[in-house]
Amino acid sequence: MAKSKYRYNTESLSYDKIRPSLRKRLLILASYLSILLLIAILLNVFYSSVFDTPREKMLKRENSQLNQQFEILNEKIGRLETILEDIEKRDDNIYRTIFNADPIPHSVRDAGFGGVNRYENLEGYDNSDKIIETARRLDELTKAVYVQSKSYDEVIEMAKNRELQLSSLPAIQPIANKDLTRTASGWGFRIHPIYKIRKFHHGMDFTAPTGTEVYATADGTIELVERSRRGYGNKVVIDHGFGYKTLYAHLEEFNDLWKGKKVKRGDVIAYVGSTGLSTAPHLHYEVHLNGKKINPINYYFEDLTAEEYDRMIVLSMRPGQSYD
């Protein structure tokens, strides 16, 4: 209890009690309230720094649950990425290989996202790094699934055209030659018969008498009929579609051919000769796939037994010189 104050009254020769003014009493009350408020603030700060409020406890529980959910989500994304990677490998190495289709380029499968920062709206939060990383992986997974689905669309379309593709595959010998003793030169380095230098031979040579029938090795369209005394001499090029073309060179004559004519596998298209840079009657035969010359030996399987096929490989690999 505050002590009372007195003032000596000279007139009444007594002490009068001093009563503070209303303003002063209000100031005193205000100072007390300020002190109490300051004490309350300090206590609240101390309590908040040491103990969690119910609201903070609830938010921390929610945050912990969200982190657990992110971990579970990332594990599921990881499993999906592994599954998709296996699907991509099977697509490139099995499904597309069956149809002689090129694999999907890594530049397409692994292409990123250009343009502005697509995750800008996710920045500025406590868990922004985790959220952005998860969003990025989901976007990449979504894009990879889209690319893979387009690839399967192509495979399905190729499967629908499989019968046509098989008929367009150069799968027989261009000359009826069952004993295989007339395979003069195969794929690989050989001594050129005219230049007498070691030169790569992009095809196979079949020796046969002049006038021997030459067959189209697959269905296709005549792309080129050319007469020449140089190089390949008289030659025919057939476009079989699906990236395949075949070339028949050093021919004596053509069998009623013109550019754009449709031919079937087994049709007689020309006759063996020795035109151009050739030293003896023979057929020079090439197979091209997507503009690249490939070894024809890999395509003789429709009219050869396993033993004949093995024998042809042996004969084609013998060193020596070609006839062109």
Same domain, 305 and 187: yes
Point out the least confidently predicted range of 106-120, 127-141, 146-160, 272-286.
106-120
Global pTM reads 0.50
Q: DSSP for 242-257?
A: TTEEEEEESEEEESS-
Residue 244 has what pLDDT? 93
CB atoms within 10 A of CB 132: 17
Which helix (H) or strand (E) covers residue 98, if one does?
Answer: helix 96-98
Residue 181 has what pLDDT? 46
> What are the C-alpha distances in Å from 11 to residues 7, 15, 16, 64, 126?
12, 10, 11, 80, 77
Same domain, 62 and 135: yes
Q: Which domain holds residue 111?
A: 54-160
Q: Is residue 322 part of a domain?
A: no
Same domain, 19 and 91: no
Q: For 168-207, how does the pLDDT look when each residue is reduced to its tens digit (9 = 90+)?
A: 889 888 988 654 445 556 655 565 555 555 666 678 888 8
The residue length of the chain stands at: 324
Q: Is residue 172 part of a domain?
A: no
The mean pLDDT of the chain is 79
Q: How many domains does the chain divide into?
A: 3
Same domain, 300 and 270: yes
Residue 179 has what pLDDT? 41
Same domain, 65 and 31: no
* Alpha-helical runs (H) found in 161-288: 162-167
Mean pLDDT of all residues in 24-37 = 86
Q: Is residue 177 part of a domain?
A: no
Residue 279 has what pLDDT? 79
Which comes out higher in pLDDT, residue 314 or 81?
81
CATH number of the domain bearing residue 280: 2.70.70.10
Q: Is residue 176 part of a domain?
A: no
Q: For 93-139, how does the pLDDT look when each residue is reduced to its tens digit (9 = 90+)?
A: 877 777 767 788 877 777 766 556 777 777 777 777 888 888 888 88
Closest listed residue to residue 314, CA positions, set 186, 207, 174, 193: 186
Q: Is residue 92 part of a domain?
A: yes
**Both tokens assigned to 132:** 């952005």
Q: For 222-267, how does the pLDDT look when each residue is reduced to its tens digit (9 = 90+)?
A: 999 999 988 899 999 999 998 899 999 999 999 999 999 999 998 9
Asked if the model's pLDDT at residue 315 lies above 80, the reply is no
Q: Is residue 173 part of a domain?
A: no
Q: Is residue 116 part of a domain?
A: yes
Same domain, 70 and 144: yes
Residue 28 has what pLDDT? 81
